[in-house]
Amino acid sequence: MAATSPTTHATLRLTPRNQRTLISSAIVEGFGYWSGKDVRVEFRPAEPDTGVVFFRDDLPGRTPIPATVHHRIETPRRTTLSSGGATVEMVEHILAALAGLRIDNCEVHANAAEMPGCDGSSLTFVEALQRAGIVEQDAPRTHLVVTETMRVGDEECWVEASPAARCELSLRYRLDYGADNAIGRETLQLTVTPASFTRELASARTFLLKSEAEWLRSQGLGTRATYRDLLVFDDEGPIDNELRFENECVRHKTLDLVGDLALAGCDLIGRITAHRTGHRQNAELVRALLREGQKIDRRRSA
């Protein structure tokens, strides 16, 4: 990690908010893109200060797997969490849905390791969670305030956090696949709120190049998923599918960023700028922020 010197910024007036959970349970069923296995996920309300915790109901012991960066293990092209020998994979779209809607406390029960791919976005999860309803709890939410500019990564792929001028989380993502393919270069900037996440990010789908999809299938991965399940690009554009947004690819990368930042386990206040970054760099930034940021727990500061 390379960190610059502290950046001077005005003291923010943080508006405290209370934690939130679900009113009732929500269920999503589907299959894992990587494994092809059927999976059922149930979202359940949780007490204040629980955070987001996964449970593998198909394993003995029901070991809790907290959705924090400390439980993240490195896996190519997806976010995986592990605790006590239990593992859950492809959790980033679920975490993005919960964080985007500001659902802070939730038990996520699954009967398989890999979470359902659905349509490659967070939309199915968001709709199920909204149907279940969201309620405020009588406990304050912890904030982590970015107090200096810091960057992780290298010249090719990097993500940077800097202080915010307002009490908000602002994201800017620069996607660059070069000029010789249909994905190309795209940029998106967004202040994350439940409304903006639902409107601008939730329905943006997973994407990859045809050459990448063919290689994965040659390895026995993703054989159940079709071109209708996610966005696969050839030289002309998405195969057997249509874009929901002209810049859907960068929107999905921003959705992934929301999910990975949720591994901080608290609200982030700052500006995050990402260039061609992936899950590993996003998690590295979260670790750096937890070390260097100003964490404010309203229960202790009241």
Block residue for tokens 């894992």: 32
Measured between alpha carbons, how far is 205 from 29 in angstroms, rounded to an integer? 17
Block residue for tokens 């590993």: 280
Please answer whether residues 105 and 48 qualify as being in contact, where contact means their C-beta atoms are separated by less than 8 angstroms. yes
Does residue 143 have an active-site annotation? no
Cβ-proximal residues to 93 (8 Å cutoff; 6+ apart), any chain: 115, 118, 121, 122, 125, 255, 256, 259
Of 71, 93, 252, 279, which is the active-site residue? 279
Residues classed as catalytic: 279
